[in-house]
Amino acid sequence: MNQSSTISIDLAKSVFQVAVFNRHGKRMSNQAMSQKKMLMLINQHPNSTICIEACSASHYWGRTFQDRGHTVKIIPPQKVRPYRNGNKNDANDAIAIYEASLRSDIHVVPVKTPEQQDVAMLLSLRQSYIKQRTAVSLRIRGYAAEHGITFPQGINKLREMIPLAIEDAENELTSVARFVLRELYAQLLSIDEPIERVESELIEFARQIPACQLLITLRGVRWIIASAIFARMGDASAYRNGRGASASLGLVPTHRGSGGKNKTTE
C-alpha cells in the first residue's frame, strides 16, 4: 500500500471518477466506479491526499475522508478549469483537479463543519423568504402607484400604510385595486411569520456556537451577522491573518494592472 498517494475524485451522485497518482506524480489509474468501490479504494491508500472540486457535496465528502485519516483539498471550480486538457469529461476533470492541487498559489476551500452548513441553510432559507417579501412589497408599491398612491420607504412603513390606503374612500383606488392590495397585504403578513421563525431558530443555534459568541463582542455585530460570518469562515483558523479573512468575504479592494498601469477598485 502506498501511503503517499494523491487521489483525485470527480464527485457525482452515483458514479465517481477516481484518479490515483503515486508520490512521483505518475498516474496509476483513472476509473469510474460506484460509491462503494470508491470507498474501498480509498481505504487501500491510507494517509493519502484527496483532491476534490468544490460542489454541493464536497464538504460532506471532505469530512468523510478526513475521518478516515486523509488530507483533503477542496479546489474551487474556477481554479480547476484552466488545467483541463481535451474535451470535458469525467476522466479529464479528475486529472485537472489533480493538476490544480499541485499549484502552491491556489487557496483551497476549508472543509466546513456540519454546524457551518446548518447555519448556511438557515441563512439561505431566511434570504429566500426575504426575497419573496421584497417581491410582494414591490408589487404592492407598483399597483398602488398606478392609482396615484405612494408609500414611504421601508417595510414597516408599508405594513402600516397599506390598510389605511385600502380603507381610504377619498383616494382613486378602484374596487378591484382594493381587492388586489388586500390580497397582497395578507400575503405580505403571511411571509413575515416564517421569517420570524427562521430568525428565532438561527439566533438560538448561534448562541450555542463559541465562534459566534466571540463575534458578537465586536462593535456592531449581532447574532445574524455573526452567524453569517461563521457560516463562511468557521472559527477563522484557516486564515493566516485578518487580510486573508477579509479578502474571503470580499471586503478588500481588487487590483488590476497592465502595461505598468495599476488600478485598485472597491
Residue 177 has pLDDT above 70, yes or no: yes
Q: How far apart are CA 115 and CA 112, in angstroms?
A: 8
Residue 74 pLDDT level (bands cut at 50, 70, 90): very high
Strand-pair partners of 257:
262
User: pLDDT digit string (tens) for 83-123?
Assistant: 999 889 999 999 999 999 999 888 899 999 999 999 999 99
Residue 168 has pLDDT above 70, yes or no: yes
Angle at Cα 250 formed by Cα 247 and Cα 252, nearest 5°?
Answer: 60
Is 124 strand, coil or helix?
helix
The predicted pLDDT at position 138 comes to: 97
Q: Are 225 and 199 in contact (CB under 8 A)?
A: no
State pTM to two decimals. Answer: 0.83
Q: Where are the domains of the chain?
A: 6-101, 114-204
Whether CATH 3.30.450.20 fits 6-101 = no
Q: Are 96 and 75 in contact (CB under 8 A)?
A: no
Query: Mean pLDDT lowest for which of 2-6, 35-39, 184-188?
Result: 2-6
Residue 78 has pLDDT above 90, yes or no: yes
User: Average pLDDT of the chain?
Assistant: 92
Cell numbers found for residue 138? 414591490
- pLDDT (mean) for 39-63: 95
Q: How far apart are CA 108 and CA 74, in angstroms?
A: 5
The predicted pLDDT at position 3 comes to: 54
